[in-house]
Amino acid sequence: MFLRNCWYVACWSHELKQSMPLGVTIIGEPVVLYRRGDGQVVGLEDRCVHRLAPLSLGRCEGDNLRCMYHGLLFAPDGRCVDIPGQEAVPAKACVKTYPVADRHGWVWVWMGDPAAADDGLIPQSRSVDDPAWHFDTGSLDYLANYQLINDNLTDFSHLSFVHANSFNAGLNWALSRPEITQLERGIGVERWVIGDPVPPYLNGDFDTVDQYIRYDYLAPGILLLATEVHRGGTGERTPLGSPRPEPLFATFSPQAVTPIDEHNTRYFFAWGPRAVDGDKATAALMMQVARQAFNEDKLIIEAQQQIINRDPSRSVVPVSCDKGVIMFQRTMARLLREENPASAAD
């Protein structure tokens, strides 16, 4: 079961070009996105009412979208407004519409009750267009259920083993435990990682560093990650919650997990430094490291999914690093119950 009354990331804003419809699948539903003449985004069901051809293969005509099978023309409100060779347009010739928003460099789609769409539930991320930062962006498709990726991103202890080569992560990621707080629609995670090897994107006359990490992980799978690299010894002198000195290097990474269906997931990610710490070339170098790391995640998560598929009845044995995983799983379960009270009562 998927959470519906929430905003899902459909694509990067720069991927949706003027006059070029884009078809995506979110929680099993085909959606077509296109830009009106003024650049505003429209979201429609990607299925013509006539012969059920995908509208994403259609043509933008001003603010409207024409199906290129038999030419039916649809307005942004989903109404068919023209049928070639036919004067009357049936009132029922309408496609479903979706609330959409273009925020922080992402196009968001509300998959639930349109009347319940609340822009205030769009997570407040730093925009990838923020001139104070330099970001590079990417995406990756997984042959795995989205919940396995959520689990991965709510527990960074795996960095010591999965990402020892890419991120040069040390053992303290696995040995230390973060402070985790419950949020209304997710969790907040904060930690110091003491004596970590120097990240591959940082040059300096030191052998180890202390990294300060703070992130929110929000429904349905949005990661807003801030990282600061400090000289060794800073973490021991600076308890969580107290003012921190100016870091050697600061980065931010917005990420999003969007279920395509039960078996496939699209993962969006961006990463980059403050403008005072680097430039576009720095961001590109960091993204090379990130792509290596995220492909390491993909390898193990897809293999994990294959094992689960062989015997879905097998249960897992939780350990102490699973606190954030369990808290987020419970948050999602609560939101699903609130959305489907009848199902929860059965």
Q: pLDDT tens-digit profile of 117-172? A: 999 999 999 999 999 999 999 999 999 999 999 999 999 999 999 999 999 999 99
pLDDT of residue 70: 97
CATH superfamily of this structure's domain 7-121: Rieske [2Fe-2S] iron-sulphur domain (2.102.10.10)
Domain coordinates of the chain in residue numbers? Answer: 7-121, 136-335
- Ranges of the chain with pLDDT below 70: 343-346
pLDDT of residue 342: 75
| Cα–Cα dist 146/221, whole Å | 8
Unique residue bearing structure tokens 């730093």 = 126
Q: pLDDT tens-digit profile of 327-338? A: 999 999 999 999
| Cα–Cα dist 212/1, whole Å | 35
pLDDT of residue 345: 54
DSSP 15-68: GS-TT--EEEEETTEEEEEEE-TTS-EEEEESS-TTT---GGGSEEETTEEE-T
pLDDT of residue 341: 86
* Residue 41 vs residues 79, 111, 173, 175, 303: alpha-carbon distances, Å: 16, 15, 41, 46, 37
pLDDT of residue 201: 85
pLDDT of residue 335: 97
How many CA atoms, within 13 angstroms, populate the side-chain half-sphere of residue 87?
A: 0
- Report the alpha-carbon angle 239-225-150, nearest 5: 115
In 18-32, which positions are buried (b, 16+ CB within 10 angstroms) versus exposed (e)?
eeebbebbbbebbbb
Max intra-chain CA distance, the chain: 77
Top CATH class of 136-335 equals alpha beta
pLDDT of residue 344: 58
